[in-house]
Every structure is written in structure tokens, then in C-alpha cells.
């Protein structure tokens, strides 16, 4: 058996780790980073970019750059229209009613996009380890439905990975906490990531991690914080210039990037300056955005988002029948858990120390690596007692939902239910499997329907059909049925409607990887990087620069963006790159002299 890797496929960033002599290690990617942006970009000639290079492309080609795909995994289009309207690429309805992404006239299902990210992580692991990697443990939000878990497994298969186990992200964080610890504890794992939120309460001991309750929201994360800031910036811009810029994808992407930077900066400073020159052009007049965002305003804009996470925490405590006093500490997971106001609210609720001993961006992947080590025999076996995130049941007369396996039941779990016919001589029985807490079947998630056929003719109510529900260690649902009168038995696995057929997975897996980036594409990437660096430098050093120097930089930025949009020849790109390098060098000299004269 080769090395089994652990992967945290995140909404914003992804991380891959492995066990090195019983110690978890994060794998460094080709760019020397420990995290890889969960972004996929496409060029006009069909090239594909993943990670940092794709993230940089967002500013110049937002319609062909996909981010936040995790929010669309295994979801129906009608359920995520609001989220689809908030991204700068096109989300459409697939023939089966699920979400799809349309790039350059071709539709990609979310599993394909996620697989491209996983392929990149797989390649990073192979380059780092010097061996082929075929097996992995993947993590998912604790509140992912069966459809979403199936979609994640399919993405792994498309990427060429044998997914040995799917574990919940808070459970993975608890494994990292448990590693090499000996003191029994009752902990809360507060997982506030880029696109999803989970809260899990666990009791951990030397070799047991038992989940007591879990709650969450699959459409709540740092992306919503960014969008709240973007709405504020759009309002200020319209008030100042009388222009609604929300319909321009390039403008929206620049605003999203600026909002993300401001959010991160406000975790360390009390206020930050947001400066976006040449945001739009009104006739021949460029319009700039200049705004100062202080932490108080930021917290006011985003307070409803944080309060939603606290409400989920309170529900989890009630589900587990715990009081905050019963907890020993709280583990903070996910990049958005760094926000000072978030930490203050969590501390006020639980009245316990916040464990910041783990890197919130990496701890889930570390836990996944520990799970891979358990499966590979490198790590002492730890018993994971996870729970169901939703109730499982069937539709009964009157369109009601009858719960068979309640939420927060320890998994793996199984339950049996006897059903019968409703008319005389009925030869088939239809079973409609549901996931959710609503009393009416139509308000829950449909996992699928199947019919047991070949039932012996008999008066209604006489046949006894035993239906067995089983949730495996990955949280995926299986169903079987047996006619107790005849002993005839048929095992049926209910694949989620989003699950792909093996032939579909093989066809997608066999698609060749994008060709190597040619010199012209590398040059475009270099120019894009120079523009971003120049804009950042201007924002950070503006007080040290003379007005004429600022105008020169803004003119250089405008020239660069226009050149990229017009797709110039390679020679022109080389000239532009040298010009930007001279501007950057000239600015650095000016700021050094200005700083030295103070």
C-alpha cells in the first residue's frame, strides 16, 4: 500500500497532508505554499489553471474563473439561485436539475471542477513524496447532505483517487486535537470556513472521539462576510458617482478581492484603506473608489452573519443536553474564525478558553492525514463515533415523513421498518427515502425512490416487506428490502440523484489534463502578477508618494489592464512587463527615500 493522503477540499483554500513516521505533515505545493486556492481558471484556447495562477486570473477574466464550487456540490439549481447570482461566472441548471457551471459554451458539473482541484492536490503530493498516490481520505462539512457527500466522492473518483473514507471536518479537527493527548475532554469545534459553518460537540479520550451533537449551515461562511463588504462599497460608490457598478463582472471581482483583503487586514488593525483606481469608466472619465473601513463599521455590516453561527451553537448545546459549563475548551477552525468579533462572540457563549494552538487553515487536513494513518496502520487505531447530521426516514400516507434514524444518531447505524401494500393484490411497493427534519415529505431532501417488485398477490396489508436503512461510516445511505412471506430479498443501494454512473466517472477521468502553459501564457501570468503587486504597493505606500507619482502608477495600471483585455501579442506583453518592472523599481526607490527623510 502506498501513502494515503488526507485532503481538506475547502471552499476558499484546500490543503493536503500525510503521515510521516506517525506525525502529520502538510504537503508543500509547486508554488511553495501550504494552502492551494480552490480556484479553477480557463483560458480562451482551452488551457486550465488551478490554484494561485487561477486566483490571479480572476481580476482579468472573472467569467472564466470558478471559485467557491463547494457550495454548489450536489445541490439542486433551484435551491442555490441566490448564491449563483452572487458569483462572477455563470451557473446554470443541468439537465438533471442540479447546478452546472458554463464556461466558453461548455457546461461543467461541480464534481468536475472539484476534481480539477483534487487532481492538482494529488499531483502536488506525488511531486512532494516522489511516488504515485491513489488513495485518500476526504473531509466534508458535518452538515453536508447525502447528495453532497456522494458528489464529493465522485469528484475524488474523477481525480483518480480511491476515496477510502469521508469524515466530517469538525471530527477531523478533533482527531488532530486528540493526537498525542491523554487527558479526557469535552470540546466544541467551531468551524467557520470560507463557504460553510459547522459546530460539533465531542467527548474525547485517549483513543475515542465521540460526537455528541452537530449543527451547521452549508451556505454560511467567509464568502458572505466578503459580500456584505462589497454591498457597502457598491453603495458608497453609487452615492459618490451615481453609478451602479454591480452588473460588471470585472468590477465585482475587484470588489470581492478588495473586500477579502480588508477582512483579513481588520483582524490585525483598527481600520484599512480600500483604494481601487479606474474601477469604471464613465464616458472618457475614469471613476475611482476610495474608502476607509474601520473595524466597528465592518462588525456592524457583518454582525447578522456571526449571530447565525451563534444560534447554531446554541441549538447544538440543546441537542447534546449540555451547558457551556460542561465544556473544557473550544477549538477554532476555518479561516473566518480569525475574525476578532467572531472570537469574542464564541468566548462569550461558551465562557471557555479558545484553543488557537492549531493553524485554522490546516487542522482539518491534519486530521484527515491522521485518519489516513489509522487506515494505513501507521497510527494507533482511534475509535471515531460520529453522528448523523440529518434524520433519515420514508414518506408515508398523507405525504408525511416518518423518521427511522433520528439526527445525531451514532454511525454506522441501521434501522428496520415493516411496510405493506395499500390495495389488494398489489405487486410492487414504492419506497421514497428522505433526509431532513421537516414533518412533510416535500420539505425534506429526497434521496431517491425505488420499487420492490414481485410481491405475491394478497389482500392489502397482508404482505410484510422489511426495509433496512443503513448509514455507513462515511455518512452515506444504503437501503435494502426483503419480503418476509417468501424470503425473497433484494439489496438496493440508493445512490444520491447527484451520483454519477461509473461510466460517466471513467469518461471524465480519462479526459486529458490541460496542456502545459505556453510561454505567452506564462508571460500573461507574470504581467497579471505585476499589476496586482503594483496595486498593492500603491495602496500600502500612498502616503509616502507625491501626487504625480500616484498618477503615473494609476496610468500604468490602466495601461496594463487594457493591454491584457485586448490580448496583445507576446512582444507587446514583454514590453509591458519591462515597463511595469521599471515603475515598481522607481516607486520602491521613492518610498525608501521618503521613509528615510522622516
Q: Are strands 413-419 and 465-471 parallel, antiparallel or unpaired?
A: antiparallel
List the beta bridge partners of residue 331: 189, 355
Distance CA 230, CA 272 (A): 14
In the set 8, 386, 528, 535, the catalytic residue is 8
Peptide linkage before 340 cis (omega within 30 of 0): no
Does the active-site annotation cover 191?
yes
List the beta bridge partners of residue 18: 25
Distance CA 368, CA 137 (A): 6
Q: With contact defined as beta carbons under 8 Å apart, do 436 and 411 qualify? A: no
In the set 52, 98, 154, 191, the catalytic residue is 191
Sign of the CA dihedral running 51, 54, 55, 56: positive
In the set 70, 122, 352, 407, the catalytic residue is 70
Q: At what angle do helices 146-158 and 110-129 cross, to 10 degrees?
A: 50
> 182 φ, ψ to 5°?
-125, -5
Does the active-site annotation cover 443?
no
DSSP 244: -
Distance CA 205, CA 284 (A): 67
Residue spans of alpha helices (H) in 183-339: 222-241, 249-265, 295-320
> Which among 127, 172, 301 is positioned nearest to 226, based on CA atoms?
301
In the set 52, 83, 112, 169, the catalytic residue is 169
Please provide the size of the chain in residues.
Answer: 598
DSSP 105: T
List the beta bridge partners of residue 40: 50, 66
Tell me the CA distances in angstroms from 428 to 179, 370, 449, 452, 456, one per residue in order. Answer: 51, 46, 13, 5, 9
Question: Cβ-count burial of 4 within 10 angstroms (0-12 exposed, 13-18 middle, 19+ buried)?
Answer: buried
Does the active-site annotation cover 8?
yes
> 194 φ, ψ to 5°?
-70, -30
How does 191-203 read in b/e, with b if 16+ C-beta sit within 10 Å? bbbbbbbbbbbbb
Q: Provide the CA 591 distance to its chain's centre, in angstroms.
A: 39
> How many Cβ atoms from other residues are within 10 Å of residue 522's Cβ?
13
So which residues are the catalytic ones? 8, 70, 169, 191
Amino acid at each position: 500500500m502506498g501513502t494515503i493522503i488526507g485532503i481538506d477540499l475547502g471552499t476558499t483554500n484546500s490543503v493536503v497532508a500525510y503521515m510521516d513516521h506517525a506525525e502529520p505533515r502538510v504537503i508543500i505545493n509547486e508554488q511553495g505554499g501550504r494552502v492551494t486556492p480552490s480556484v479553477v481558471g480557463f483560458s480562451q484556447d482551452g488551457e486550465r489553471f488551478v490554484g494561485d495562477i487561477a486566483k490571479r486570473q480572476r481580476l482579468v477574466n472573472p467569467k472564466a474563473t470558478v471559485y467557491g464550487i463547494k457550495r454548489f456540490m450536489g445541490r439542486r439549481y433551484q435551491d442555490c439561485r441566490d448564491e449563483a447570482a452572487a458569483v462572477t461566472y455563470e451557473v446554470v441548471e443541468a439537465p438533471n436539475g442540479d447546478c452546472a457551471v458554463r464556461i466558453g459554451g461548455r457546461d461543467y458539473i461541480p464534481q468536475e471542477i472539484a476534481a480539477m482541484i483534487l487532481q492538482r492536490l494529488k499531483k502536488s503530493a506525488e511531486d512532494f513524496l516522489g511516488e504515485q498516490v491513489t488513495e485518500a481520505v476526504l473531509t466534508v462539512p458535518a452538515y453536508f447532505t447525502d447528495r453532497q457527500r456522494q458528489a464529493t466522492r465522485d469528484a475524488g473518483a474523477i481525480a483518480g483517487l480511491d476515496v477510502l473514507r469521508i469524515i466530517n471536518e469538525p471530527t477531523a479537527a478533533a482527531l488532530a486535537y486528540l493526537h498525542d493527548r491523554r487527558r479526557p475532554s469535552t470540546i466544541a469545534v467551531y468551524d467557520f470556513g470560507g463557504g460553510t459553518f459547522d459546530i460539533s460537540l465531542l467527548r474525547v479520550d485517549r483513543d475515542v472521539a465521540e460526537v455528541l451533537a452537530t449543527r451547521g449551515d452549508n451556505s454560511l461562511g467567509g464568502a458572505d462576510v466578503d459580500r456584505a463588504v462589497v454591498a457597502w462599497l457598491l453603495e458608497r460608490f453609487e452615492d459618490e458617482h451615481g453609478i451602479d457598478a454591480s452588473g460588471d463582472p470585472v468590477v465585482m471581482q475587484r470588489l470581492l478581492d478588495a473586500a477579502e483583503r480588508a477582512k483579513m487586514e481588520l483582524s490585525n488593525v483598527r481600520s484599512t484603506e480600500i483604494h481601487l483606481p479606474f474601477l469604471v469608466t464613465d464616458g472618457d472619465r475614469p471613476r475611482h473608489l476610495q474608502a476607509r473601513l474601520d473595524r466597528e463599521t465592518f462588525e456592524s455590516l457583518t454582525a447578522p452573519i456571526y449571530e447565525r453561527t451563534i444560534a447554531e451553537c446554541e441549538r447544538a448545546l440543546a441537542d447534546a443536553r449540555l451547558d457551556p459549563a460542561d465544556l473544557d475548551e473550544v477549538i477554532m477552525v476555518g479561516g473566518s474564525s480569525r475574525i476578532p468579533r467572531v472570537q469574542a462572540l464564541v468566548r462569550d457563549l461558551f465562557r471557555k478558553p479558545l484553543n488557537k494552538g492549531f493553524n485554522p487553515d490546516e487542522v482539518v487536513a491534519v486530521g484527515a492525514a491522521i485518519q489516513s494513518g489509522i487506515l494505513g496502520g501507521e497510527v494507533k487505531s482511534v475509535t471515531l463515533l460520529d453522528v448523523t447530521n440529518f434524520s433519515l426516514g420514508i414518506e408515508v400516507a398523507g405525504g408525511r415523513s416518518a423518521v427511522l434514524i433520528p439526527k445525531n444518531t451514532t454511525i454506522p447505524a441501521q434501522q428496520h421498518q415493516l411496510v405493506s401494500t395499500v390495495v389488494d393484490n398489489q405487486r410492487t411497493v414504492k419506497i421514497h427515502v428522505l433526509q431532513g427534519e421537516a414533518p412533510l415529505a416535500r420539505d425534506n431532501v429526497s434521496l431517491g425512490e425505488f420499487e420492490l417488485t414481485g410481491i405475491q398477490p394478497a389482500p392489502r396489508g397482508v404482505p410484510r416487506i422489511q426495509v433496512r436503512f443503513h448509514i455507513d461510516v462515511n455518512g452515506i445511505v444504503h437501503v435494502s428490502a426483503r419480503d418476509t412471506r417468501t424470503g425473497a430479498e433484494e439489496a438496493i443501494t440508493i445512490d444520491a440523484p447527484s451520483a454519477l454512473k461509473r461510466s460517466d466517472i471513467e469518461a471524465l477521468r480519462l479526459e486529458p489534463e490541460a496542456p502545459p502553459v505556453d510561454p505567452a501564457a506564462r508571460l500573461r501570468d507574470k504581467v497579471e502578477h505585476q499589476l496586482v503587486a503594483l496595486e498593492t504597493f500603491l495602496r500600502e505606500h500612498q502616503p509616502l508618494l507625491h501626487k504625480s507619482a500616484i498618477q503615473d502608477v494609476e496610468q500604468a495600471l490602466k495601461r496594463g489592464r487594457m493591454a491584457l483585455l485586448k490580448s496583445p501579442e507576446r512582444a507587446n506583453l514583454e514590453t509591458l512587463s519591462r515597463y511595469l518592472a521599471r515603475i515598481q523599481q522607481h516607486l520602491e526607490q521613492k518610498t525608501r527615500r521618503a521613509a528615510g527623510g522622516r
